Structure 1
Amino acid sequence: MALRPEETELRRLDLNLLPVFIALMRERSVTRAGEALFLSQPATSAALARLRAVFRDELLVRNGKQLEPTARAEALLAALAPSLQAIAGALSGAVPFDPATDERVFRIGWTDDVGMAAKPLLARIWQAAPRCRLVIRAANYRTIPGMLESGEIGLALGFMGDDLPAIAKQRVLRRGSFQVLRWEGTPGPIDLDAYCARPHVLVTPRGDLTGFADAALERLGRSRRVMLGVPEFGLLRQVLLGTDLLCTVSDALVEALMAPEAGGGLAADPVPFDGPDSVMRMAWRTALDHDPAEEWLRAQVVAVLARR
C-alpha cells in the first residue's frame, strides 16, 4: 500500500526535533533552549541545522544577542503547538508515577512572594520524591499566562488574576487580605493618616512606583509617598529594619517574614482602607491535568499553601 502524502512528509522528520523547535522559539537562544531540554549547545545547534534542512528555511536568524523567528517559523509554531499539546496530553495520562523512585523534572513558575511562602514545599517534595528535580522560574501575573501557554512551565503559583489562557486550569489556594509591614521599632498600628504620611517601599520588578494602594487612596482623596522601589520581596527585611518605611504586602508573605525562623524585628497592621483581596492561585496546563506526577505535585502544593 502506497504511503499517503502526509505520511511521506512525516518520514522526513525526526519527531524528536519538534521539542527542540518549540524550546528554540520560546527561548530565542540555542544555549537556553539546550538548558531547558538538558541538551548540550552543540547538540542543540545540530538539531537546529536539521530543522532548517527539513523545513527549507532558516527558521531563526540572529538579531543582536538573540534569535528572531522567520515568518515560516511563526506559521509552523501556530500549526504544530496544538498537536504537540494533544500528544503530550495523551501520553501524560499513561505514565505512572512513584515519588520514591521517579526521576521526573517538574517545572514551576512562581512569584517572588509566593516563593518565600513556599519554602516548606521544597522540603516536602524532596523528602517524598528524592530523585525528582525542580526547575523554578521567576514569574509574575503578567508573564504567567504566556509561560503556561508556551509550555515553559507546567505549574504556576502566584497572586494572579483569573485571565489565564484557555489551555490552563486553576484553583484558588487562599484568599486573604493585604497588610502593612513595618519595623517593629516604629509606632503602630498604622492608621490612614500615618499610612499617608510615612514613606513607602514598593516591590516593583518593572520599575514603576504605583500600585493598587495608590488607586484606592485616590478614591479617598488621599495619596502616599513611595520613596523606594525594589525588584524582589526578599529584600524587604533588610530595607525595613531600622527605618520608618512601610510596605503593603499579602498576608501570606507577612506570615513568611514574621515566622520565628525568619529572625524577627518586623510588625504588621491591617491596611487602613478598603482594598482588593489577596488571592493566591495555582494554575496548570490542561494537558497535564491527569498526569499522575503533576497531580501528585499539585497535592503537595495544596498541603503546604492552601488555607484551611
Structure 2
Amino acid sequence: MALRPDESELRRLDLNLLPVFVALMRERSVTRAGQALFLSQPATSAALARLRAAFRDELLIRNGKLLEATPRAEALMAALVPSLQAISATLAGATPFDPATDERVFRIGWTDDVGMAAKPLLTRIWQQAPHCRLVIRAANYRTIPAMLESGEIGLALGFMGDDLPAVAKQRVLRRGQFQVLRAADTPPVDLDAYCARPHVLVTPRGDLTGFADAALDRLGRSRRVVLGVPEFGLLRQLLLGTDLLCTISDALVEALLAPEAGGGLAADPLPLPTQDSVMRMAWRTALDDDPAESWLRAQVVAVLARRG
C-alpha cells in the first residue's frame, strides 16, 4: 500500500530522534538530555543537528547555560507529546512482562522524604526483578506534573497535591499527621516550645517559610526558622546535640526512628492544626495497562501504602 503524501514525510525522519527532541525540550541541556536517555553528549548533539535539518529550524538556541526553544519547537512539542504517549500505550499493551527475566528500565520520580523511606521498596524490586534497572529522578510537588506530562518519568511518589495533568492518574498511598522531629535528649514540644525553639526547614527552593508558618499566623503565633537545607538526609546530623526542631511527615518519622536508623531522635505530634500529610502515587495514563508498570505500582502499594 502506497503512503499518502502526508505519510511520506515519515520517510525523511528517523523516528528514534523524537524521544531525543522531547528530552532536549524537557532538560534544555544537551548533557542532561543525553544522561536521561543514556546517550553520550556527542551522540545527543548529533541527534540535535539531525533534528534541525529534518525540521528546517534551529529548534533550540543557546541562551547562557540553557537552550531556549524556538516557536517551531514549542509547536512541535505540543503536537508530538500526545502522539508519543499514544504510541507508548499501544506498544505497552502488547509487551509481556516477566519480572524474573525482564531487563527493562523503570523511571521513577520521588520526593526526598519518600526516597528516605523507600529502601525496602528498592530491595523488593531487585529481589523480584533482578535484571531490571531503575532511574530515580529528584522531584517535588512543583516539578512532578511536568515530569509526568513530558514522559520523563512513568511513576511519581511523593507528598504532592492533586493538581496533576490530564495525562496522569493517581492513588493516595497514605494519609497521616505531620510531626515535630527533635533530638531525643530535649524536652517534648508543645505549642509554646514550638514557637520558642529554633527550626530547620527542608527547602529545595531556598525559602524560609512553609505551611506551618501560615497555620501559626492564623493563631496569632510565629516560629523562628534559622536554617534552610536542601534535603531531609541532613536532618539527623543537624538535630543531634541541638535544640533544633523540624516539621516532617509521619512516613519520614517512621524511617528516621526505625531501629536501623541509629537512634538519638524523637518526635511529637505537631501542636497546631494543619492539613494532613498525604503521600500519593501518580503515573502516566499511557502506562495504565502496561504489565510492567502495573507490577511496579503493585510493589509500591505493598511497601508504602498504609494498611487499615
Q: Percent identity?
A: 87
Corresponding residue of 1:26: 26
| Whole-angstrom CA distance in 2 between matches of 1:228 and 1:32 | 30
Corresponding residue of 1:285: 284
Instruction: Rate the CA distance shift 1:2–1:139 in 2: closer, same or farther, 3 A.
Output: closer
Using the TM superposition, give the Cα deviation of residue 187 of structure 1 relative to its aligned residue in structure 2, in angstroms. 1.1
* One-letter identity of the residue aligned with 1:147: M
Corresponding residue of 1:109: 109
Using the TM superposition, give the Cα deviation of residue 66 of structure 1 relative to its aligned residue in structure 2, in angstroms. 2.1
- Pairs within 5 Å for 1:92-103: 92-103=92-103
Corresponding residue of 2:38: 38
| Whole-angstrom CA distance in 1 between matches of 2:238 and 2:22 | 41
Corresponding residue of 2:179: 179
* One-letter identity of the residue aligned with 2:264: G
| Whole-angstrom CA distance in 2 between matches of 1:123 and 1:213 | 34
* One-letter identity of the residue aligned with 2:295: W
Deviations 1:7-28 (A, max 9, x none): 2211111111111111111111
Q: TM-score, normalised by structure 2?
A: 0.97
1-10 or 70-79, larger mean C-alpha shift = 1-10
Q: Which runs of 5+ in 2 are unaligned?
A: none
Corresponding residue of 1:5: 5
Q: TM-score, normalised by structure 1?
A: 0.97
- Pairs within 5 Å for 1:259-270: 259-270=258-269
| Whole-angstrom CA distance in 1 between matches of 2:221 and 2:31 | 50
* One-letter identity of the residue aligned with 1:41: Q
Corresponding residue of 2:209: 210
| Whole-angstrom CA distance in 2 between matches of 1:234 and 1:138 | 13
1-10 or 147-156, larger mean C-alpha shift = 1-10
* One-letter identity of the residue aligned with 2:23: A
| Whole-angstrom CA distance in 2 between matches of 1:169 and 1:3 | 36
Secondary structure of the equivalent of 2:238?
helix
- The answer on 1:240 being equivalent to 2:265 is no
| Whole-angstrom CA distance in 1 between matches of 2:169 and 2:232 | 27
- Pairs within 5 Å for 1:1-308: 3-188=3-188, 190-308=189-307
124-133 or 1-10, larger mean C-alpha shift = 1-10
Deviations 1:243-297 (A, max 9, x none): 1111111000000000000000011111111111000000000000010110011
Using the TM superposition, give the Cα deviation of residue 42 of structure 1 relative to its aligned residue in structure 2, in angstroms. 2.2
| Whole-angstrom CA distance in 2 between matches of 1:39 and 1:215 | 45
| Whole-angstrom CA distance in 2 between matches of 1:36 and 1:183 | 39
| Whole-angstrom CA distance in 2 between matches of 1:107 and 1:228 | 32
* One-letter identity of the residue aligned with 2:213: D
Deviations 1:214-267 (A, max 9, x none): 111111111111111111100000010011111111000000000000000011
| Whole-angstrom CA distance in 2 between matches of 1:284 and 1:227 | 37
Using the TM superposition, give the Cα deviation of residue 2 of structure 1 relative to its aligned residue in structure 2, in angstroms. 5.6
* One-letter identity of the residue aligned with 1:221: G
Secondary structure of the equivalent of 1:57?
coil
* One-letter identity of the residue aligned with 2:164: L
* One-letter identity of the residue aligned with 2:55: F
Secondary structure of the equivalent of 1:52?
helix
Q: Which runs of 5+ in 1 are unaligned?
A: none
